[in-house]
Structures are given as structure tokens and as C-alpha cells.
Structure 1
């Protein structure tokens, strides 16, 4: 895993079990890694309003032996990504000039998110998640609020090459029905971003209890579904608008679909050809 993502992953793993005070301290550290790397414990305490003792407790709660060990990881993280941060900062500055358009600002944010994803993505985890999808007897997809259409798009792509992927909780279908059919050989794939859908969090928790594998794509270590995920992915979603950007999320999801098809056998290609033959027979696509 890239160094720049190690601390965020560790915070995400423990976040749900932290006290309110320790969560606030963790949020500050993640938002100010460069300061934590460069400044003393006393200076960070003054800047954050968090006592040195609380910062030390945070380090131990995250599995570090001391605050200095946490600080060292921040140094590694900053050292490994300074150049890419500066490039992304320049892209954002170029898009935030007084005469910049909404399109320029949004495009800059999307480019930054995708670049950040490339820099921090745990490629081994992606491959393991893809393997789980390939081996699953069935895959259930779920998204709510802004994530609904994104998950439907993935279901559309998946149905070209597999008959075992289903979309939960849509068009009157019961999410509970989909969960009841899950077993240890299945996968639940959930996309949820702030404000997090309660049904999404509860669905991931229920799937974990059943023994199914779970894939969660979210936007923050604070997402309550992360702790129930077999394969959690925290994807950059920053936007100058009032909504989260899904550009990096789509990049990850489309890549996972491509990886599934690329490592599959001839049967997958034959199914795609068969779907296309039926589409042509039904006259689904416009032909001049």
C-alpha cells in the first residue's frame, strides 16, 4: 500500500471505537499531516486545542507504541506525496482564478480526485476484491441517495458478463430479500458517501454477520460502514460544488469491471456476444 494511505486506513479501521474526543483528534491529524510531521507535540496541541495526553492516547488507540511513531508515519506519508500534492494544488489554483468557470473548477477537482486515487490506491486490495467478485456465487449491489445511479450503472455493465449480479432495493424490491439470500460464498457491494445512508450501513453489518464478503466504497474514514467491510475503499470525492464528486469512484468501479472481464474465461466473451445478439434482434440500438 502506498505510504500516503496508511494512516487513513488505520484511522478508518479504529474510528468507530474511538471516543468523541479521540475522533476529533484523529480528524485533525488526518487533515494536517504535514503539520504533524513537521511540528512538535506541544505545537500541535496548541493548534488543535487537543491536549498532548489526548494525542498520545490517540496514537495508542490506533495501535502505535507512541505519538512519535504516529508522527513518523506522517513524515513518511508527506515525504512520499509532496510532489503530487503540489501538482494537484497547482491544478486547483489554475481553476480558481477570478475568471474561472464552474466547469473549470469542477474539472480541476475531478482531476485532483483521480490523481489522488492513483497515488494512494492499494492495488493488492483491488485485486483481492476483484477475485472475490469473480469467485462469488452471487453479487448484490446497493447504493442510496446520490450513489443510487452509480450502482445501477455498475449493475448494467455487470449484467453483460454475469447473470448472478443483482441490484438490491430498487423498483419496489426489498433490500431485506436480497440480504436473506446472501451466504458465505456471496458478495455485497455497497457505495455510500456523506450523508451516509443508514440502510447501507446496516446492510453491510448484516452481510458481515451472515459471513458474506463485503466491498464498501466511501469518501471518508468516518464512514460507519467501513468497519464492517472486507474490502474497504476510501475514494477522494472533493468538489467545489454542494455535492460529492463521483469521478474517482467511477474510475475505480469501471476498472474493477474491466479487471473482471480481462481475467475471465471465454464464457464471459460468449455471454457478452449473446447479449449483443439479443439486443440487435430486439432492435434496441438505433441503426441508420
Structure 2
């Protein structure tokens, strides 16, 4: 790939103070896009379309995804007024880590819009949902997501456990995950078969467990069985006081506040998407091939309806 080092006067963008927000950078890039060189257009386009990747990927990973060299990203950052690419990336990282503030602001907008109505339940659900998701995207959870993905990628088999209110989480993780990683297995525990289903997992395997208060007795039992067999555990729960936490290699403490009568699973579902996306992003090329083959099989069997 070419990355010309000669100065191009059309590449200069207005100087941007390091304290700006990502949306201001995006606006600046969008306005200047047509005047950029071809290589900087590729870099700018990637920044505009993948802000989370810019926040958390290495410069080499982002450059490869954007089909430019790392020096091109450095040049783009400097055209925006940053002394280094690291300072540029910090803007996106800070925005993600400050998620609760940003999302709370959006929730406040919802509150203002709905203030003329009597439908407070709808508004409160939205307020809680924005806040729960915002609390998920922190630097600590970013590190845990990466570690969880590496555990899953390194496992021989992955068991997924979640009963009653969290069965939807377990099912979603197993269904979506299995498209890319075939050795992901949903544990159902039907007709007294819990022990039989779990017996085939050992120290070479990983179990992903979901459980919120009130904690399901079957989930605790399943985790006890896998621990006894040496299975490494990734636990998604609502508090560090959860009976699922002791002995877990990785624990995600997700917010599930809601005015609804059952705990919200929104943060857990979003976490699932983040973990599985990380697996595909950093896993072997076979995972991408598995997704393509799955889609081909589904279309061949007539599972999808095309829209003209």
C-alpha cells in the first residue's frame, strides 16, 4: 500500500484541541473528507465508521482494518491538531469510559420529551436502559472482555448456562456464538439431565454462566459441578455478592436496574455481543469462514426470505 510522505496542501484540517469530543472530530472529518488524499480518506472513513475500534484497538490493528499504514493514522491525528496518535485515541477511549454520563444525558432528553405525557413507566424503562448500557463500557470491562474472548478461543469446548430469567442470555450466547465457534454448547438441564450434560466438560473447557438475583438453584448447582471438574468459569452476574462469583476466573458485574418486575437483561445481551465480536475479531480466520458457511447453509435451506 502506498503512503506518500510528500506534503499535500489539501490534507490539512483545522486544528483541533485535544479536549474535544469524538462527535466534533467526526464533524470535522466529514466536512474535510472530500479534500483529503486517497490514503487519508481511507483512514478518515474508518474513524467515522468504527469509533469503538479506534478507542480500543492498537494502531496497527486499526491501520490494517482501514487498509492504510500506521503512519497514515498518525498523519491524520496530527492534521487534527494532536501531538500523537495516542492522544487522538484517548478522546475516543474517554468518551466510551464516560458512557454513563453520555447515556444519562440522552435519557434526560427522553425525560424532557415525555414530560408532557403521563406515561412515566415508558420513560423510566428508557432511563434505566441507557444507564445500564453506559455502565457496561468501562476500561475495566474492556480488559475483561478481551480476557474472556481469549479464554473462549483457547477452550476445547464452551458450555453456556443460564436458567429461568437468564435463559434468554444463555440461549443468545450459544446460538450466535455457535455460528462462528461450533463447540459452544447450550446446557438445558431438561428432564433431570443436567449432570449428564455437564459430565463431558473438564479442565480443557470453559463455562459461561449467567445469573441474577434471585439466583436460580439449578445455575448454582451447574456451576458447582463444572468447578469440581476443573472447568474455567466466566460469570455474568449483578453483584460481587452473587453465589456464582467464588472461583470464577472472570466476573462481569453488570447493571440490571429496571422499573420492570424482572431484572433487565439488556446489559448482559450487549456484553454477549461484545465478547463474541472480540472472539471473531481476534480469533483465527476459520471463524469468519464459519459465519459465511452458516449463512450459505441457511439460504440454501430457505431459512431466509429475500425482500425485493
TM range, smaller chain: 0.5 to 0.7
Return the match for 1:222 from 237, 241, 254. Answer: 241
What residue is the counterpart of 1:131 in the other structure?
150
2:135 is matched with 116
Aligned with 2:288 (options 269, 274, 288): 269
Instruction: Give how far 1:222 is off.
Output: 2.0
**Partner of residue 3, structure 2:** none
1:239 CA displacement: 0.4
How far is 1:198 from its partner? Answer: 1.1
Greater shift in the superposed pair: 111-120 or 146-155 = 111-120
Give per-residue Cα distances to partners, 1:6-31, cap 9 Å, x unaligned.
xxxxxxxxxxxxxxxxxxxxxxxxxx
TM-score normalised according to structure 2 size: 0.61
Counterpart for residue 121 of structure 2: 102
| Worse overlay, 100-109 or 246-255 | 100-109
**Do 2:157 and 2:205's aligned partners in 1 also have CA atoms closer than 8 Å?**
yes
Alignment RMSD: 2.7
Structure-2 change in CA distance of 1:89 and 1:205 (3 Å): farther
Shift of 1:228: 2.7
Asked if 1:194 is matched to 2:244, the reply is no
Task: Verify the 8 A CA contact 2:235 2:252 in the aligned structure 1.
Answer: yes
For 1:94 and 1:148, how far apart are their aligned partners in 2? 30
Q: What CA distance in whole angstroms lies between the structure 2 residues aligned with 1:90 and 1:229?
A: 35
Equivalent position to 2:266, from 239, 247, 260: 247
Name 2:16's counterpart in structure 1: none
On the 8 A contact 2:254/2:268 being kept in 1, the answer is yes
Residue in structure 1 matched with residue 203 of structure 2 by the alignment: 184
Query: Contact (CA 8 Å) 1:140, 1:178: kept in 2 or not?
Result: no
Match of 1:147 among 166, 172, 179: 166
- Structure 1 unpaired stretches of 5+: 1-80
Q: Count the aligned residue pairs.
A: 208
1:274 and 1:93 map into 2 onto residues whose CA distance is 43
Contact 1:106 1:241 in 2 (8 A): yes
How far does the alpha carbon of each residue in 1:151-196 deviate from its partner, in whole angstroms, 9 at most, with x for none? 1111111121122111112555822122211111100111011110
Could you tell me which residue of structure 2 aligns to residue 158 of structure 1? 177
Cα distance change on mapping 1:86 and 1:282 into 2, 3 Å:
closer
